[in-house]
Amino acid sequence: MATVLDIQRYKDEGRRFAMLTVYDFLSARLLDEAGIPILLVGDSLGMVMLGHPTTLPVTMEDMLHHAKAVARGARQALLVGDMPFMSYQASVEDAVRNAGRFIQEAGMHAVKLEGGGTVVEITRRLVDAGVPVMGHLGLTPQSVHAMGGFKVQGKTDAQAARILADARALEEAGAFSIVLEGMPSKLAAEITHALRIPTIGIGAGPACDGQVLVFHDMLGLTTGKAPKFVKRYANLAEDISRAVNAYADDVRTGNFPGPEHEYSTNGSTPAKDPSEVRYGG
């Protein structure tokens, strides 16, 4: 199983690595079998899976529900649970209790928290409690209203200096890695070179030690105009549309089900192949 030590080793050896978001059992199994070393149960599930306009409505219960499913599907990857809005901001006690739930109830190996400033002390306390912490700086979606929208951060010298200082402070507090989201490539490169721990970029250019994308974005499952930083490796929304239309046509024309999909008249036969999936009774 990949551990936080492996992730550090990747940086020490100059090996770039991929992280992906994942929200369900089946996808977790596919990504795990593909050898993706870090799977993030991101609070982006609020937008991707639950249809919210931002990540702000996502609750701990939402996160745990999905994290448990992911843990059932993955064997090799380091699993990171994303602490949702207001699960850690109000107090260190909230943070420790909720991070503990990710580890104890949902089978996650680490948690991710957005922001610097007061989050540095929370990070220190979680690390003291034995919980590996991934930081997250730059465009932090839980602060969408404070930022005045989903805007690239760190464009001014003052902002860039603040983000660099937060990154150093998170490293000093014991974070094992930091996501750098939505910032100029030059700033992400500066942070990556300044830190001993790995950085993981999303919309932060090529210098980061690792990269992360939202699974549904890179597969072309989310529709509409993708953000500039997304590379689509498939167009599954189109494939799904084609497949369900073909199915509906087959049903209309009587081409489905065919003889190969029918059961015989002498009772229902038990599945011969134990991997054959049966739903319900």
Report, as residue numbers or ranges, the catalytic residues.
181
Q: 101: part of which helix (H) or strand (E)?
A: helix 92-104
Q: Does 153 bind ligand KIV (CB under 6 A)?
A: no
Tokens 């699993």, residue located: 79
Q: For residues 42 and 65, what is the distance between their CA atoms, to the nearest angstrom?
A: 12
**In the complex, what is the shortest distance from the CB of residue 275 to ligand KIV, in angstroms, rounded to a whole number?**
31
**Which residues, listed in sequence order, are joined to residue 110 by a DSSP beta bridge?**
80
Mapped onto helix, strand or coil, the DSSP state of residue 210 is strand
Q: Does 39 bind ligand KIV (CB under 6 A)?
A: no
Instruction: Burial-class residue 260 by CB neighbours within 10 Å (0-12, 13-18, 19+).
Output: exposed
Give the number of residues in contact with ligand KIV, rule: CB under 6 A: 11
**Which residues, listed in sequence order, are joined to residue 200 by a DSSP beta bridge?**
179, 210
Convert 177-201 to b/e letters by CB count within 10 Å (16 or more is b). Answer: bbbbbbbbeebbbbbbeebebbbbb
Among 7, 11, 21, 64, binds ligand KIV (CB under 6 A): 21
- List the structure tokens of 252: 């209309």
> What residue number has its CB nearest to ligand KIV?
42
Minimum CB distance to ligand KIV smaller for 21 or for 222: 21
Q: Does 44 bind ligand KIV (CB under 6 A)?
A: yes
Q: Does 222 bind ligand KIV (CB under 6 A)?
A: no
Minimum CB distance to ligand KIV smaller for 2 or for 40: 40
* Residue-level length of the chain: 281
Q: Does 209 bind ligand KIV (CB under 6 A)?
A: no
Minimum CB distance to ligand KIV smaller for 115 or for 184: 115
**Between the CA atoms of 28, 23, 229 and 235, what dihedral angle is there, to the nearest 10 degrees?**
70
Q: Does 214 bind ligand KIV (CB under 6 A)?
A: yes
Expressed in angstroms, the distance from the first to the final Cα of the chain is 36
262 DSSP assignment: P
Among 60, 202, 208, 219, binds ligand KIV (CB under 6 A): 202
**In the complex, what is the shortest distance from the CB of residue 19 to ligand KIV, in angstroms, rounded to a whole number?**
8
Given the rule CB under 6 A, which of 31-39, 42-50, 222-230, 248-256 is the region that contacts ligand KIV?
42-50
CA angle, residues 200, 115, 37, in degrees to nearest 5: 25
Q: Does 42 bind ligand KIV (CB under 6 A)?
A: yes
Q: 242: part of which helix (H) or strand (E)?
A: helix 236-253
Minimum CB distance to ligand KIV smaller for 227 or for 242: 227
- Scan residues 164-193 and list those touching ligand KIV (CB under 6 A): 179, 181
**In the complex, what is the shortest distance from the CB of residue 82 to ligand KIV, in angstroms, rounded to a whole number?**
5
Minimum CB distance to ligand KIV smaller for 47 or for 71: 47
Sites of contact with ligand KIV (CB under 6 A): 21, 40, 42-44, 82, 179, 181, 202, 212, 214
